[in-house]
Amino acid sequence: MDFSLSAEQREIRELALKFAKNEMIPHAQEYDEHGKFPTEIFKKAWELGLINACIPAEYGGAGFSSIDGVIIGEALAYGCMGMNTSFMANDLALLPIVIGGSDEQKKRFLTPFTQEFKIASFCLTEPGNGSDAGGIKTQIKDGGDHWIVNGEKMWITNAGYADLFVVYGTIDPNLKHKGISAVVVDPKTSGIEIGKKEDKMGHRSSDTRGIRFNNVKVPKENMLGNPGDGWNIAMSTLDHSRPLVASSALGGAQRAMDLSVHYAKERNQFGVPLAKHQAIQFMIAEMGMKIEAARLLVYKSAWLCDQGVRNTEVASYAKAFASDSCMQITTDAVQIYGGYGYSKEYPVEKLMRDAKLIQIYEGTSQIQRLVMARELLK
Amino acid sequence: MNIFVCVKQVPDTETKITPTGDGSFIETASIKWIMNPYDEFAVEQALLVKQANPAATVTVVRVGSKKDTEALIPALAMGADEAALVEAADNLDSYSIAKALKGAIEKTGKKPDIILAGKQAIDDDCLQVPQILAEMMGLPSVSVIVGFEMNGTTIKVKREVEGGALEVYEVNAPVVLACNKGLNTPRYPSLPGLMKAKKKPMATYSLSDVGVSDADRRVKYSGFRLPPEKPAGKKFDATDAAKQKDVVAQVVGLLRTEAKVI
Amino acid sequence: MANVLVFTELHDGHVKPVTLEILGKLAGQSADVAVIGDIGADQVAVLAKCGAQNVHKLKSAQLDKYSPEGYANALADFIKTKSYDYVFAGATSMGKDLLPRLATKFNAGLASDVVNFAMDGGAFAGTRPLFAGKCLAKVELTGPKPHFVSIRPNALGMTEGVAAGAGNAADVAANAGEIRAVIKEIIKAASAKVDLTEANIIVTGGRAMKNAENFKILNEMADVIGATVGASRAAVDSGFAPHAMQVGQTGKTVAPSLYIACGVSGAIQHLAGMRTSKVIVAINTDPDAPIFTKADYGIVGDLFTIVPILTEEFKKLLGK
């Protein structure tokens, strides 16, 4: 057993962290305050190869492993969890193509993302169903030489900026899971109405909107796999994406701890630094313990993915534990900062707001526990 | 055109420095090492020259101990073509480092046209190596440069001196130039660049390979220690109008004689 | 006793103060001074008063402007005709550029940016900061002589009561040799104030400034001491100053040699942005203001009366 990263992985981490510290952290508060989409920073990250880590080498990608992907994800989330949601959404949208697409589709859809800066959206959630993804209402009907998409999607990351949508719908609601199918849609197609940007508690720089599809024509060759393959593609995508989403919680938690340690050493109360008070020491110790455990889960879930071993159970452990820990750690960071922590002048309240969303999206912490229980009790 | 860039690996600026128990150097075990920040401007300048002269090669050279994450790798990932590492202790003096750099440059068999370096390394803060190297190699040099324009083999550089004034030099290659912040904006190494960096040639030498021995040491350091703690400040009461002038005069006097800042 | 040469550079025909600091500290050694170009009898007298025995004026038509090669060649030629044990100079822009090259002409060592030293039995032992001043170390020189030392300006201070030297001045015909890197032009610094992050002296106003107009008194003081004016977050939020002037966690982090805080209470976010300043002066009416915990020199009083007096005192001190 070897717990160490390779020299290459350490270099990847250094590079991504340098980018996070120099290009993301200095702007994070401003983008949060104004809810500004980080186009320039996103593009710069893409130029450095930090985006679309999931694209295989044969389609022009860097050929990163899942472990490499979570190393990059953690570092970018360290810079800003909100911006990282926009960055990560590209991977979430492209993964179904990597997993379920044909060779021709991969060339057609993935390679352009390696040649120029492009943004993608993963369109699964609907107004009426979030966690119950099997209850999808959006319809994909056979229109002869094309598919016709009708329905409404909600909470779609990057929706206002995307060059590509991956849309999940059903060919027949009566078929339940077996009717779910995935198509790649050009956002410029007529009949697509993109809603206004949601005013969110956190991740305010990421662009989140509803999308309405009104008789949207999609070429036949844009369906991933066969009609009805959507559910399996989605589930397999989650096995790949959960470690990544968990890594973003890890990055946010690490930043909250680093800030807390720094502040606890600097701020004096009762004539000594906060760090000398046992109450603060215990909170810091708890942070360190949870981050270490979360990192091991995140790495293991990604490693299983790289070994081609089913990681559903461990990936859920990683996603739930990392995001719940991130929430606790960022909350404690605000506590350590005291009154200053509650002020927008200091960076920790933003971390606390950002942490909350990671417990909710990509499978809530409760859904993760259902997955764990299902795996454990089967 | 052969361009050489001298880089050093130094403790990250946020590092807490702790002298060793015997005061012979600092504790290096848990240090995070980075490329000397001023050297990034040197690497970037080399790459800008290469962009304008595609046939040029950029070789990065470093003297120091092997590190967990090698500073030569980001330089290669930024776009340098090859690298050389002279393995040595991290507390060599400037004279030995300059002699080792000269040896490593000569080992490549390439005649240098431009040698770039950072104006200083942020560990020993000596500001010596580029000038020593220039003198050892019989080359002209300009240090603390913040501007660079090349026309054929003629190079116009701006050197920053006290108060922000600039000396504009004209010099023909070959030349040694020591770079300051403000010269350019260093690019980031890209991830694809990092992958390619692995495949680029990196030579490794010992100090004796490049003709340097203990006898080349010119500066001896000992007694590394933390600076004394800042003593508690002095507080003066100037609420009484009659005494205000005397109190202020006293503080101004202390600023000159004691604090020596004015 | 060691034979020492001190190289002095000139500023408007005057020797730089660091030369006098070095001469004072060298009391008890035999010290000569070398200058490139000409200096008047008054300057020779100043050097003699600080202990200079001989003042060598190196003259050559090629040396009217600084060049690392010309200066190094001329000084090396001259030094070779003497038997100096040590050559000292100030660690100024020129000293830092010139001395490494000059020392290497003798294959000799250079201890640079030394902040203190002693000549024990004629042997140099100095102290210099490393790692941006995070630690200090003892520095000694070995190998061929002469040994070279550069001294950080303002570090040694002036020594009083040094035995005067003879101050014999003589011209030396100097040889600049081949100069390949030539100064074509000197661009004077823009008259605009240096940025807060680079300023050597900063004067900051807090909420107690009351309004934007009152910053005038800070500007007047700043002009006298060559400072850049900053503001606390409270002053910026109250609209007394633009955000570009804000010092602190959400403004600029600064580390000047001298920081003068006027009517700044010292909120932690402000302290975080300026606590690494070398010397901090605070003026506040509240004797318990947190800023006083960080101040080297605290003045309890009303800034509107104290600042104008400070300005006058600085004028006197600086002969303005």
Cβ distance of A340 and C269 shorter than 8 Å: yes
Amino acid C188: pLDDT: 84
Torsion angle defined by CA atoms of residues A51, A55, A60 and A65, in that order, rounded to the nearest 10 degrees: 90
Indicate the residue among C108, C141, C173 that finishes a domain: C173
Amino acid B63: pLDDT: 98
The three-state DSSP-derived secondary structure of A81-104 is HHHHHHHHHHHHHHHHHHHHCCHH
Kindly state whether residue C182 falls inside one of the protein's structural domains: no
Among chain B residues, the shortest Cα distance to A19 is held by: B188
Amino acid C24: pLDDT: 96
Amino acid C144: pLDDT: 96
- Bridge partners of C148? C87, C110
Q: pLDDT band at A67, cuts 50/70/90?
A: very high
Domain count, chain C: 2
Same domain, C157 and C72: yes
Q: Report the gap between the CA of A332 and the closest CA in chain C (Å).
A: 20
Same domain, C160 and C265: no
What is the percentage of chain C residues whose pLDDT exceeds 70?
98
CA angle B220, B222, B224 (to 5 degrees): 135
Q: Collapsing DSSP states into helix, strand and coil, what is residue C168?
A: strand
Same domain, C120 and C35: yes
Kindly state whether residue C222 falls inside one of the protein's structural domains: yes
What is the percentage of chain A residues whose pLDDT exceeds 70?
100
Q: pLDDT band at B229, cuts 50/70/90?
A: confident
- What is the distance between the alpha carbons of residues A67 and B224, in angstroms, rounded to a whole number? 42
pLDDT at C197 over 80: no
**How many CB atoms sit inside 10 A of residue C120's CB?**
8
CB C85 within 8 A of CB C3: yes
Q: Report the gap between the CA of C289 and the closest CA in chain A (Å).
A: 15
Cβ distance of A345 and C250 shorter than 8 Å: yes
Q: Does the CA dihedral B190-B191-B192-B195 come out positive or negative?
A: positive
Amino acid C190: pLDDT: 61
Instruction: Name the residue type at position C307.
Output: V
* Cβ–Cβ pairs < 8 A, chains B and C: 238
pLDDT, one tens digit per residue, over A306-357 is 999 999 999 999 999 999 999 999 999 999 999 989 998 789 999 999 999 9
Chain A CB contacts of C269 under 8 Å are: 340, 345-346
Mean pLDDT, to the nearest integer, of A251-275? 91
Tokens 């985006």 locate to A51
Domains of chain B: 2-216 (3.40.50.620), 230-262 (no CATH)
B132 in contact with C at a CB cutoff of 8 Å?
A: yes
Give me the phi and psi of B95, to 5 degrees please. -65, -45
Domain A120-228 CATH assignment equals 3.40.50.150? no
Q: Report the gap between the CA of C235 and the closest CA in chain B (Å).
A: 23
Same domain, C169 and C52: yes
Give me the phi and psi of C138, to 5 degrees please. -80, 140
Give me the phi and psi of A363, to 5 degrees please. 95, 110
Which one of B40, B70, B191 would you mutate to disrupt binding with A, by most A Cβ within 10 Å of its Cβ?
Answer: B191
Kindly state whether residue C183 falls inside one of the protein's structural domains: no
Q: Does the CA dihedral A374-A240-A126-A150 come out positive or negative?
A: negative
Cβ distance of A15 and B191 shorter than 8 Å: yes
Instruction: Let me know if A362 is a catalytic residue.
Output: yes
Amino acid C193: pLDDT: 65
Q: What is the CATH number of the domain that holds C312?
A: 3.40.50.1220
- What is the distance between the alpha carbons of residues A299 and B216, in angstroms, rounded to a whole number? 48
Amino acid B182: pLDDT: 87
Same domain, C166 and C217: no
Extract the tokens encoding C148.
Answer: 């070279």
Same domain, C73 and C217: no
Cβ distance of C249 and A267 shorter than 8 Å: no
pLDDT, one tens digit per residue, over C69-89 is 999 999 999 999 999 999 999
- Please state the CATH superfamily assignment of the domain spanning residues A7-115 in this structure: Acyl-CoA dehydrogenase/oxidase, N-terminal domain (1.10.540.10)
Q: Report the gap between the CA of A318 and the closest CA in chain B (Å).
A: 26
Chain C CB contacts of A266 under 8 Å are: 272
Which one of B195, B196, B199, B200 would you mutate to disrupt binding with A, by most A Cβ within 10 Å of its Cβ?
Answer: B195
Contacts of B54 (CB under 8 A, 6+ apart): none
pLDDT at A192 over 90: yes
How far is CA A336 from each of CA A202, A250, A266, A267, A339, rounded to the nearest angstrom? 20, 19, 12, 10, 9
Indicate the residue among C173, C208, C233 that finishes a domain: C173
Amino acid A233: pLDDT: 95
Core vs surface per residue B223-241: b (16+ CB within 10 A) or e: ebeeeeeeeebeebebbee
- What is the distance between the alpha carbons of residues C267 and C246, in angstroms, rounded to a whole number? 13
Cβ distance of A14 and B69 shorter than 8 Å: yes
Count of residues in chain B: 262
Give me the phi and psi of B40, to 5 degrees please. -65, -35
Neighbouring subunits of B (3+ Cβ pairs under 8 A): A, C
* Residue range(s) defining the domain that contains residue C243: 196-318
Query: Is the peptide bond preceding residue B174 cis, with omega within 30 degrees of 0?
Result: yes
Burial of A157 (0-12, 13-18, 19+ CB in 10 A): buried
pLDDT, one tens digit per residue, over B115-126 is 999 999 999 999
Which one of A25, A47, A48, A68 would you mutate to disrupt binding with B, by most B Cβ within 10 Å of its Cβ?
Answer: A48
Kindly state whether residue C34 falls inside one of the protein's structural domains: yes
Same domain, C152 and C204: no
Extract the tokens encoding A284.
Answer: 């810091």
Domain A231-377 CATH assignment equals 2.40.160.20? no
Cβ distance of B260 and C140 shorter than 8 Å: no
Chain C CB contacts of B235 under 8 Å are: 287, 292, 295, 298-300
A303 in contact with C at a CB cutoff of 8 Å?
A: no
HSE-up (13 A, CA, CB side) for residue A133: 21
Core vs surface per residue A289-317: b (16+ CB within 10 A) or e: ebbeebbebbbbbbbbbeeeeebbbbbbb
Q: Where are the domains of chain A?
A: 7-115, 120-228, 231-377
Same domain, C206 and C167: no
Same domain, C209 and C161: no
Amino acid A272: pLDDT: 86
pLDDT, one tens digit per residue, over A98-156 is 999 999 999 999 999 999 999 999 999 999 887 777 789 999 999 999 999 999 999 99
Kindly state whether residue C41 falls inside one of the protein's structural domains: yes
Extract the tokens encoding B86.
Answer: 């002279």
Task: Give the ipTM.
Answer: 0.91
Q: Report the gap between the CA of B71 and the closest CA in chain A (Å).
A: 10
A266 in contact with C at a CB cutoff of 8 Å?
A: yes
Same domain, C276 and C131: no
Count of residues in chain C: 320
Q: What average pLDDT is seen over chain A?
A: 95
Which residues in chain B (56-85) have CB-CB distances under 8 A to chain C?
none
Chain A CB contacts of B198 under 8 Å are: 8
Select the more confidently predicted residue: A72 or C242.
A72
Same domain, C144 and C201: no
B16 in contact with A at a CB cutoff of 8 Å?
A: no
Same domain, C40 and C78: yes
Amino acid B163: pLDDT: 64
Which residues in chain B (209-248) have CB-CB distances under 8 A to chain C?
217-227, 230, 233-239, 241, 244-245, 247-248
Give me the phi and psi of C39, to 5 degrees please. -135, 155
Chain B CB contacts of A262 under 8 Å are: none
CB C47 within 8 A of CB C167: yes
Which residues in chain A (5-34) have CB-CB distances under 8 A to chain C?
29
Counts for chain A of helices (H) and strands (E), in that order: 13, 10
Q: Does the CA dihedral C52-C56-C61-C63 come out positive or negative?
A: negative
Q: What is the CATH number of the domain that holds C56?
A: 3.40.50.620
pLDDT at A266 over 80: no
Extract the tokens encoding C246.
Answer: 């804000």
pLDDT, one tens digit per residue, over B168-187 is 999 999 999 999 988 999 99
- A23, A74, A126, A362: which one is catalytic? A362
Amino acid A249: pLDDT: 98
Select the more confidently predicted residue: C58 or B162.
C58
Choose among B26, B234, B251: nearest Cβ to C135: B26
- Bridge partners of C150? C89
